[in-house]
Amino acid sequence: MQLGDARTGKLADNIAGFGRTLRRAGVRIDSSRIALAQEAARWLDIGRREDVSAAFEAVMISREQDRAVFRELFDAYFRDPELAHKLLAQLLPAAESKGEARKRRPRVNDALSPQRAFGGQAARPKEEEIQRDAAMTASEVERLKHADFNSLGAGEYRLVERLARDVPLAVPTFAARRSRPGARGAQLHWSRTLRQASRTGGELLLLRRLERRKESLPLLVLVDVSGSMERYARLLLAFLHAATREVRRRDVFAFGTHLTDLTPAFKLADTDAMLAASAEAIRDYAGGTRLGESLRTLRELHARRLVGRRTLVLIVSDGLDTGEPELLSRELAWLVRRSRRLLWLNPLLRFDAYSPVARGAAVLHRHAHGMLAVHNLARLQELAAGLAAVMKT
């Protein structure tokens, strides 16, 4: 059954409102997808809630990690069974219990509470709310790009964390042993060449070639979760989870007073689910830093995570280690011998006059192949170029 044109009137406004809510939750959605949802609503039996949800998900969602967020938002947005057959007849402001809100992902709760997503400010008039549909103006985005993560307020921190998930990171590649059809390969692809010749009476008019596949370097990430890194750890974990999603082999560990394997958590598609699983696994969050002992645990229990000398190792830390420098030096030397490059991502590089004078920082600086800054969004965007430059040295 059809209840009129879904492209006009209150129904269209509510579909557009749902699209803006998805956008506030970090889902990549534009006006063309909202228009497709409005078009799909015209051909649905809107008395069937499951059909409506499936149709909207098909036209509005393009990334696998956004599907769970979409389903939670859809259930929260259209929760009244009396109005389900009218499909978004009105935006329901029904009060929720704290327990129900606590079960949702942070992205869903922020999207359903836009006044908190904007840094805790009061609700704005409708015209201004539409104008700020992408959660921030251009000037705010530019300001937050250069703001130190440690100086952000609670609302700004959530916004920057959401923006960090969309920052790309091109991990350096290497020529793998396996090959694939290509235009400039050194080896002839005889089976494909002969198949082509069979279509031209046996004449070899074109020689097909094989080239070696390009694969991302295996990645080993060690993230400092001590007290001095508390404001950076969560945000950088979210960034690394989204930016290295396409890396075939990715091992991630958190270290404080001991080593915690976060690789199972990083296998989850949704970044919010990864952060929740990581928080459950890490027992020494905001404690001390003992990188030397953590590296010893890595060597004794997880040495096979290092693939020959191809692994790119990223250590995210401020270098304020409280362990013995001799142990740290010995374990770092072992790690350098087993890896392609060891890079130190240091948020303290936000200070122009920074110098690694602390005992742990001095040892780490001596063994690392390079040191890069990761204290704001602008530095994260420059990280890929920094990695490429260090790999060439």
SS3 380: helix
Edge-to-edge, what's the strand order for the sheet holding 219-224? 259-261, 250-255, 219-224, 312-316, 341-345, 370-372
State which H helix or E strand residue 381 sits in: helix 377-381
Q: Where are the domains of the chain?
A: 9-135, 178-215, 217-392
CB 111 within 8 A of CB 117: yes
- Chain centroid to Cα 177, Å, comes to 29
CB 320 within 8 A of CB 226: yes
Q: How far is CA 271 from CA 94, 180, 287, in A?
A: 28, 32, 24
SS3 assignment for 329-370: HHHHHHHHHCCCEEEEECHHHHCCCCCCCCHHHHHHHHHCCE
pLDDT recorded at residue 80:
47
pLDDT recorded at residue 127:
39
pLDDT recorded at residue 63:
84
393 residues of the chain, pLDDT tens digit each: 333 444 455 667 778 888 888 887 778 888 888 888 888 888 887 778 888 889 999 999 988 878 888 888 888 877 643 433 343 333 333 344 445 555 566 666 666 654 343 333 444 444 334 344 444 566 777 888 899 998 888 888 888 998 899 999 988 887 777 887 887 777 888 888 888 888 888 888 888 888 888 888 999 999 999 988 988 999 999 999 999 998 989 999 999 999 999 999 999 999 999 999 999 999 988 888 999 999 999 999 999 999 888 999 999 999 999 999 999 999 999 999 999 999 999 999 989 889 999 999 999 999 999 999 999 999 999 998 888 888 877
pLDDT recorded at residue 124:
44
Arch. (CATH architecture) of 217-392: 3-Layer(aba) Sandwich (3.40)
pTM as predicted? 0.67
**How far apart are alpha carbons 278 and 262 in whole angstroms?**
6
State which H helix or E strand residue 179 sits in: strand 173-182
Residue 161 tokens, joined: 């964390």
